[in-house]
Amino acid sequence: MTALLEVVGVTKAFGPIKAVDNLSISVGGNEFFALLGPSGCGKTTLLRMIAGFEKPDQGRIMLDGIDITDQKANRRPINLMFQSYALFPHMTVAGNVAYGLEMEGMRGADLKRRVDEALALVQLSSLSGRKPAQLSGGQKQRVALARALVKRPKLLLLDEPLGALDKKLREQMQIELKRLQQETGIAFLVVTHDQEEALTMADRIALLRQGRIAQLGEPRTLYERPDNRFVADFIGQMNFFDGQRAVNGFEVPGLGVFDAANLSDVAAGTAAALAVRPERVVVSETEHGGNLQAEVEGLAYLGQDLILHLRIAGQAKPLVARLPAANPLTTHIARGAKVWCGWSAAHSLILSE
């Protein structure tokens, strides 16, 4: 895969705070790439530098092998879909979509054809004469998308594209965005704070923390093999047991010595945490393979899953377990029940900060 966008060692500071700190990423020509992170991690600043609204203090930004660091925003073959959509309120839907093409000097039949195509792509042809104030949130989002896509940019930037939509619509649009990306063949770079959104849509994710990359990889890698505690905690839910690498395994005070998938990579004496996903915790009413005794302290019924908070003697925090509805245990387990729990060593990791 040849890189379409290359961000090389980019730094941007606002006052004493480095919003983006010597960061490098590269995005492929047909890739759906997500910049994920908590608010203030620098993801929006990075996006604005790629769009051309902020200038990096250091580093270069290359598009298709051409240095665009000093190119003006209106000259870059990149379009941005704004978080608030930023639709022009005095123009119709068609007027909004046509605007970018008019700036290229396109007029008449060509213009109309391209606008119609773009509106058809987002299924808004019937609303072309409306003003933005007459549209629902989801419709506005589609107009913003059509307006950005109609120019056929090499790269489309999306700033929290689904943030303003309600949950049902968001899930629907996640699939929709993925379809559009594959149909148009345009590279998408999405900024989001929603890990689920990133996992669902992206081919690759860069998880940012304080202006640096915490981990970059495919969704499955980030979820299953997080590099550190921050990544494991940010993406999905995770149980942590603080402890130390001993000679024969990882020792959690008061709980015992454990094996883990990456035990051999961790040097003896390292203070770290043993991490287990809730859905990997095995719970049973009898002692078989499970080795930790616990008491059910709380339950949360989610329909497809049942969340258990398990109190293990001597542990400050309860162990969270997630049982699928198909597990026979879920039909009768109650608060106060005594259970046995455990996990397979292959499903646990030793993670440092």
Partner 1 sequence: MVVSRRIVLTGPGIIWILALLVIPCALLLVNSFFERGIYGGIDYILTSENYVRAIDPLYAQIFWSSARVALITTLVSLVLGYPAAYCIALMPKRRQLAYLILVMLPLWSNYLIRTYAWMVLLNSEGLINKTLLGLGVIDAPLPLLYNDFAIIVGLTYAYVPFMILALFSSISKLGPELREASTDLGASSLMTFWRVTLPLTLPGVAAGSVFVFVLSVGNFVTPDLLGGGKRTMLGNLIYDQFLTARDWPFGSAIAAIVIGIMMLLLTVQAILVNRRDREGTAA
Nearest to 132 by CA among 82, 171, 173, 182: 82
Say whether residue 90 binds partner 1 (CB under 8 A): yes
Q: Which residue among 9, 55, 67, 104 contacts partner 1 (CB under 8 A)?
A: 104
Q: Is the CB of residue 105 less than 8 Å from the CB of residue 169?
A: no
Q: Which residue among 19, 51, 61, 274 contacts partner 1 (CB under 8 A)?
A: 51
Q: Is 160 left (phi over 0), alpha (psi -120 to 50) or beta?
A: left
Task: Kindly tell me which of 67 and 104 has the beta carbon lying closer to partner 1.
Answer: 104
Alpha helix (H) ranges present in the chain?
43-51, 93-103, 108-121, 137-149, 167-184, 195-201, 219-224, 229-234
Task: Kindly tell me which of 48 and 309 has the beta carbon lying closer to partner 1.
Answer: 48
Kindly state the smallest distance separating residue 139's Cβ from partner 1, in Å: 11
Say whether residue 232 binds partner 1 (CB under 8 A): no
Nearest-angstrom CA–CA distance, 195 and 230: 13
Per DSSP bridges, beta strands 271-276 and 282-284 are unpaired
Task: Kindly tell me which of 24 and 83 has the beta carbon lying closer to partner 1.
Answer: 83
Task: Kindly tell me which of 48 and 277 has the beta carbon lying closer to partner 1.
Answer: 48
Place of tokens 């304080």: 210
Tokens of 252: 């959690």
Select the span of 87-95, 242-250, 279-287, 289-297 touching partner 1 (CB under 8 A).
87-95
Binders in 119-138 for partner 1, by CB under 8 A: 131-133, 135
Say whether residue 84 binds partner 1 (CB under 8 A): yes
Kindly state the smallest distance separating residue 51's Cβ from partner 1, in Å: 6
Q: Is the CB of residue 54 less than 8 Å from the CB of residue 14?
A: no
Residues that bind partner 1 (CB under 8 A): 51-53, 72-75, 78-80, 82, 84, 86-90, 99-100, 103-104, 131-133, 135, 140, 147-148, 151
